Amino acid sequence: MSEVKLDDLVSLTKRRGFIFPGSSVYGGLSGTWDYGPLGVKLKDNFINLWKYFFVDSREDIYMVDAAIIMNKKVWQASGHVDTFNDPLVECKKCHSRFRADKIDLSHCLVCGEKNSFTEPKNFNLMFSTSIGPIGDGVGEVTIDRAELEKILANNKDSKISLKTDNENLVYLRPETAQGIFVNFKNVVDSFYPNIPFGIAQHGKAFRNEISPRDFIFRSREFEQLEIEYFINPEQWQEKFEMWINLIHQWFNLIGLPAGMITDKEIDGADRAHYSKRTVDFEFDFPIGKEELMGLAYRTDFDLRNIEMFSKKSMEYKPKDGSASFVPHVIEPSFGVERFILAILSSAYKQDEINGEKRVYLDLPFKLSPIKAIFGPLVRNKSEIVDLSKKIFKEIKSEITDILWDDSNNIGKRYRRADEIGTPFCITVDFQSLEDNMVTVRDRNTTIQTRVALDKLSDYLKKQF
């Protein structure tokens, strides 16, 4: 179990400019989060490393970037319109709504009323909106369909009609995966990769979660990094194992301790409608052991459904001249927010330096938002300040994520740098004027090393 409490992470990330509650100036918007300067850096570093590891360093995976607003047939064909539901219950007394499988149904969490819930009903998690100039342009009114049917049954003169196929209806994508499937044929026809090959996508996904909770763990707007790895079905077991392996290499690369990860085989009844085998990778979050990401064998479910709905063939013709076939798919699906939470919770450390408590983030160098804090020991000696500015300019032109800090209290400077996970603090002091060396202090060990100015850039670059 993680050493840190969720509240400590929420507080640190807000105080130091990583993550803020969404729309906070207006009292917030449940299930949404905004990234501040350091959060953007951390997230970008994570995503760029992911792209390097899973796409750019390989020869079989290519990226697409599909539109977020897609034809609604995409979500009919994928099964999301019919089955992307969570069970919803409502307290008959105070009308608060909850996800039935996540709460104790013996009493209402809001008003305390005992055994007061309605029967669970399916609540579709997709956000819907309209495309094109319809209505007055200020949005839609959402009404419970069953309620509206009741009202209309009692009001025969009403001009309101219930449409089942509204041509302006669109959904915000609940997964990035479908943007890949609908472009499968485009990529094959324009690029003709050898099978097996993968198509990856990074981007936003939206789910109208009944109960968003636990900081960024369950949000209504989040980011996914997904790969659809297209294979010959005969190879699915071998390729599934290959992906389990690669995913563990990834955990290792980003510094998630192996002891905090559990591979969980998902039983048939609990698997998504499209999956023949699913492994969830669980992480020991501060809220307990929960799903970090998933790996699913989606068979040819999606491409077959696209064939059915679009009447277009999704067959792949192998270059060796063998018979064409509709590829099957292995899908690793990474949730960016859950990874950021896992990275922050495993990096959060507390210790004592000279009898003083400190908090530091033991982030891997590649992920740290700021690689080094740089500044003169004192602000009132112009030779030291001038030399510092000169070196800072040179280093910053090579390693951009370096921050100038010349606050006078070096102890506080170190604490602030530690708390945002900065691996190094570089100080120019009186001695630097004599020996052309600077002091480089290591975040984790707090050991200080003298490094020659002409070796400084290599010293830092060595960490990349």
Interacting residues with ligand GAP (CB under 6 A): 175, 177, 207, 209, 218-219, 222, 224, 226, 291, 293-294, 331, 333, 335, 337-338
Please report how close the Cβ of residue 418 comes to ligand GAP at its closest, in angstroms: 28
Q: Select 213 or 358, whichever has its Cβ closest to ligand GAP.
A: 213
Instruction: Report, in Å, the least distance between residue 149 CB and ligand GAP.
Output: 30
Q: How far is the CB of 195 from ligand GAP (least distance, A)?
A: 21
Q: How far is the CB of 282 from ligand GAP (least distance, A)?
A: 10
Of 294 and 421, CB closest to ligand GAP? 294
Nearer to ligand GAP, 8 or 282 (CB): 282
240/365 with CB nearer ligand GAP: 240
Min separation Cβ 291 and ligand GAP, Å = 5
Q: Which is nearer to ligand GAP, 69 or 151 (CB)?
A: 69
Give residue number: closest CB to ligand GAP: 335
Structure tokens given for 162 = 């219930």
Separation of alpha carbons 423 and 420, rounded Å: 9
Residue 172 vs 420, nearer CB to ligand GAP:
172
CB nearer ligand GAP, residue 116 or residue 219: 219
Give the shortest CB-56-to-ligand GAP separation in angstroms: 22
Q: Least distance from C-beta 125 to ligand GAP, angstroms?
A: 8
